């Protein structure tokens, strides 16, 4: 499965449009990373442009969650 979330409503809307245009099944939603909880298992987790904008404690929490899932 492909999951994606972002704090930007416009970003998620664009992502959904591009996925639909390219027949990609995607579960995408708007959410702030501070409230995100990992559910299920993933083969890969990609985080682009996130870690330089958040504090160290939150960064460590997110990395811990990524490693578990």
Best CA proximity match to 3, nearest among 50, 52, 32, 46: 46
How confident is the prediction for the chain on average, in pLDDT? 92
pLDDT tens, residue by residue, 26-55: 999 999 998 888 888 999 998 888 888 899
Q: What is the pLDDT of residue 18?
A: 97
Any idea what the Cα angle at residue 12 is, between residues 22 and 52, rounded to 5°? 115
> What pTM value is reported for the model?
0.79
């Amino acid at each position: 499965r492909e999951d994606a979330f972002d704090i930007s409503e416009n970003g998620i809307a664009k992502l959904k449009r591009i996925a639909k245009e390219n027949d990609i099944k995607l579960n995408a939603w708007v959410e702030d990373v501070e409230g995100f909880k990992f559910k299920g298992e993933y083969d890969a987790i990609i985080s682009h442009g996130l870690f330089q904008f958040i504090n160290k404690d939150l960064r460590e929490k997110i990395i811990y969650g990524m490693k578990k899932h």
